[in-house]
Structure 1
C-alpha cells in the first residue's frame, strides 16, 4: 500500500476496485489500461513437450562442473553412488549367472579359472574389486557417524573424508596382498 501512496494511485485504485462493474467497462477507463503487445499461439501438447525438452537440455547440470571447483564432499558423494551401483551390479549379475548356469559358475569352476590366470591379472582384478568395496564400506560408516550428528561441520566433513581415503588405500593394499 505504501507504493501506491507514493505514486499517488491509492485512491484511484480503490475507486476502480470498489466501483460497480458497469463503471469498469466504460471505454474511457479501458483506454487507461495498458495493453500488452505480446502475441500468443496455441500449441499441441507434443509441441510444448518438445520446447520444454530443448529448454531442459540447455540448463547446466548440478553441480555445474564448469563453474564450481571440485570439492572432496561432492566427489566423495558421487564416488559413493558409483561404487554402490557397481558393487550391486556385480552381485546381482553373478547371482543371476549362478541361477541360470550353476555348473558354469560353481565355486570349483571359478577357483580353477582364477588359478590359471597370470599373477598380474589377479592383482588387477583384486584391486578392481577391493578398492570400491573398501571405499563404499568406509564411506558408509562415515555416513552413519553423520546420522548420529557428529562431524557435520565443514572441518569434520573434510577430516572424515581424508580418513576414508586413507583407510581405503590401506585396506585395498591389504586385501590385494592376501
Structure 2
C-alpha cells in the first residue's frame, strides 16, 4: 500500500512540472536518480582566504598548548629502571641469539666455538679481565631478572605507592649490582 502511494507521488511529480516541484528541485526525484540526470550541488563557502594553507596550519600550531618537556621534571628511578629494563632485556636476549647463531654457523665457517676452546681462551685472560667480562655479562641478566620480579609484584597490585616504587627501584639496583659482582667473583 505504501509503495503504491510513493510510486503515484513520483509519477505525479514527473508528469506535471509545477511550482512545488521547482521549489523542491534541490531534492532528487527517483526518476532523476534512476536516469542519471541528477547532480548533487553544494553551496560554496562564502569566505575566501588569500593566505597560503600551510601558513594557516603554522599559525594554528602556534596557538596550541605545549606539553611539558622532560627537562622540567626531576629524573626519577622509575624512568631509569624502565629504560634499563628494556635495554638489559635486549642486551641479554640479543647476545644469546648472536652467540647461538655463531655457534650454529661455526662448523661451516671454520670457527672453533667449542666449550674447550672457549674455556681455554677465557682461562688465558688476566684475572681483572675475567672479572670485568663476567660482570659485564652478569649485570644485564641480574638487573632484568630482579626488575622483572618487581614488575610481577606490581602485577599483583602490591608496592604501588610512590615511596614503595622508589624503594623497590633502588633495591633492584642494589641487588642486581651485588648479584652481578658475586657472579663475577666466582
TM-score (norm 1): 0.65
Specify which of 143, 156, 162 is matched with residue 170 of structure 2: 162
Gaps of 5+ in 2: 1-23, 27-43, 55-66
Question: Structure 1 residues 63 and 166, CA, compared in 2 at 3 Å: closer, same or farther?
Answer: farther
Report the CA distance between 1:36 and its aligned residue.
3.2
Corresponding residue for residue 92 of structure 1: 97
**Distance (Å, rounded) in 1 between the aligned partners of 2:47 and 2:148:** 60
Distance in 2, matches of 1:100 and 1:34, equals 70
Given the alignment, which residue of 77, 82, 105 partners 2:82? 77
CA separation in 2, counterparts of 1:157 and 1:127? 26
Q: C-alpha distance in 1, partners of 2:52/2:70? A: 37
The structure number with the bigger radius of gyration is 2
1:119 Cα offset (Å): 0.8
| Structure 1 residues 84 and 63, CA gap change in structure 2 (3 angstroms) | farther
Kindly tell me the number of residue pairs found equivalent between the two proteins: 131
Structure-to-structure mapping, 1:55-66, within 5 angstroms: 64-66=69-71
SS of alignment partner, residue 66 of structure 1: helix
Question: Is the alpha carbon distance of 1:64 and 1:119 closer, same or farther for their aligned partners in structure 2, counting shifts above 3 Å?
Answer: farther
1:39 counterpart (43, 48, 52): 52
SS at match of 1:150: coil
- CA pair 63-110 structure 1, distance change in 2 beyond 3 A: farther
Partners of 1:120 and 1:101 lie apart in 2 by: 28
Q: Counterpart of 1:155 in 2: which secondary structure?
A: helix
Residues 118 and 34 of structure 1, relative CA distance in 2, 3 Å threshold? same
Name the CA distance, whole Å, in 1 between partners of 2:51 and 2:184. 68
Alignment-derived partner of residue 45 in structure 1? none
Deviation at 1:155, TM superposition (A): 1.5
